[in-house]
Every structure is written in structure tokens, then in C-alpha cells.
Amino acid sequence: MPRFDAIFWDFDGTLVYSHRLWPSAALEALLALAPDFPMDLEQMRPLMRDFYPWDLPEEQYRTIRGADWWRFMEPQFAEAYRRGGVEAGLARRAAQGVRQRILQPEKYCLFEDTVWALARCKSQGIRNILVSNNYPELPAIVEKLGLSPYLDGMAVSGLLGWDKPRAEIFQYAQRLAGPGARCLMAGDNPQADIGGAQALGIPAALVHRPCPPECKPDYQAETLVQLLEQLERKGSGE
């Protein structure tokens, strides 16, 4: 199979899935303090659009990493609550409870072929590198999910201060892959994963979702098994 020396794997939506993790955690934090507040998941979801660090437009982007990541996020959660009619004091207290609910490994489920795919790549000498827009504690979650032995490096936005599709996070991953390494990005986000990688000349594979018309991935697969089958056929010259 080795047409590529390294695969950059997105995390949520690619290696794992979580059912509406962020709005669910925000709703749990609110209802823990105000059980009778009239809010459900469908009402919570639209309040949390376009407010993560990776949603900031280029001209407004700030380097947010480490402890600064959650210091940035707490007011964002509080503002989301306020837009939903939550009183300011309650909104601030609820926002402080979101983090502990996000950082629960049981909120994530591995796709059934995740371990197989990572192990298959590793056995072929392909380096597996995680490239994720996520909080700084992600490596600990990855460890608890049992994925660390299959990974050769991680580029996590909450630790680096760069988010996909910014070039810097992909360039960091390229350094982890090694000089001259032929790399492939595999992810489920047409803009952050596919567009970000291709802007640097890195081939990209869209997985686990239909392809929108504006997205032109180099590969597309419904599962990780299908993706690796495509790569193996390509590598063998079929």
C-alpha cells in the first residue's frame, strides 16, 4: 500500500463519533443548575454555531492554546446561553461546568474500523498522525480510548494555537511526518480537512459523509476500510 508515508487523521467524525457532543454538554451543564429551564437539545444547537476558535475568520484569528483555550471558550458558552434567554449569572456558572462534561471519554465512540485502519497503516510503515481542531486535553482522551499506541504524533489546535484549515497546523504535521514525507489528509470536513490540506498541495480523502458539489477530494470513502482499499489499489497500480 505505501503510496503515502503518513496519513493525517482527523479525530471527531473520522476516527470517532460523538452525538452532538458540544451542545449536549452545554445543555447538561445548564440543566444541572436549573433543571426546569425550558431548553432542549434542538434549541441549544443553533446557539452554538460559529463560536469556536476554528470558526473565527482569518482577520479576527487569535492564537488560542493551552489554558487560554478554555478561558476563551467559557465566555463563548455564557454568551450562547444568554442568546437562549438564560440570566447572566446562571449563564456564567453553567459555562464553567461545560469543560468537565466534554472531557469524558465515554462521550466518544470509535468507528468499528478505526483500530483496524490505524493498525493496518502502522503495519505497512505508514505513520499515523492525528490532526484535530480540539481542546488541549485531547491527547489524554486519545490515550483513554486506546488509540495512542497506533499514533506517531498529534497536531492538536488547542495545544498549538493553529486550527484547520490554517496552513500552520498542516505544516506542523508535515514536520512530524518527516522530511519529504508523502502525506494524505483523511477527514470529514470539506473546508477544514479537504480544503485546508489541498491548499498546501496535500492530497485529501473525504470520509463518512456525502461530498458537497464544491468539494473536490482526491479520494472519497464511506468507511476507513474502503479508503484503505482505494489506497491499496492505487499503490498497486490498478
Give mean pLDDT, residues 28-52.
Answer: 92
- Position 1 scores a pLDDT of 55
- Position 222 scores a pLDDT of 96
Radius of gyration of the chain (CA): 19
| β-bridge mates for residue 187, sequence order | 206
Cell (9 digits) for 189: 470536513
- Position 88 scores a pLDDT of 97
Strands (E), 45-120: 109-110
The helix-helix angle for 67-83 and 88-96 (nearest 10°) equals 140
State yes or no: pLDDT of 162 exceeds 90: no
CB-CB contact of 227 with 205 (8 Å): yes
pLDDT digits (tens, 9 = 90+) for 90-137: 999 999 999 999 999 999 999 999 999 999 999 999 999 999 999 999
Give mean pLDDT, residues 62-74.
Answer: 82
Percentage of the chain surpassing pLDDT 90?
81
State yes or no: pLDDT of 200 exceeds 80: yes
Q: Average the pLDDT over each of 64-73, 89-98, 123-132, 144-153 and give the range with the smallest value.
A: 64-73
State yes or no: pLDDT of 191 exceeds 80: yes
Q: Count H helices, E strands: the chain?
A: 11, 8
Mean pLDDT of the chain: 92
Q: What's the pLDDT band for 238 if we cut at 50, 70, 90?
A: very low
Give mean pLDDT, residues 6-29.
Answer: 95
CB-CB contact of 89 with 198 (8 Å): no
State yes or no: pLDDT of 217 exceeds 60: yes
State yes or no: pLDDT of 208 exceeds 50: yes
SS3 222: coil
- Position 178 scores a pLDDT of 96
State yes or no: pLDDT of 60 exceeds 70: no
> DSSP H helical segments within the chain, as ranges?
21-33, 41-44, 67-83, 88-96, 98-102, 114-123, 138-144, 157-160, 167-177, 196-198, 224-235
State yes or no: pLDDT of 172 exceeds 60: yes
- Position 235 scores a pLDDT of 67
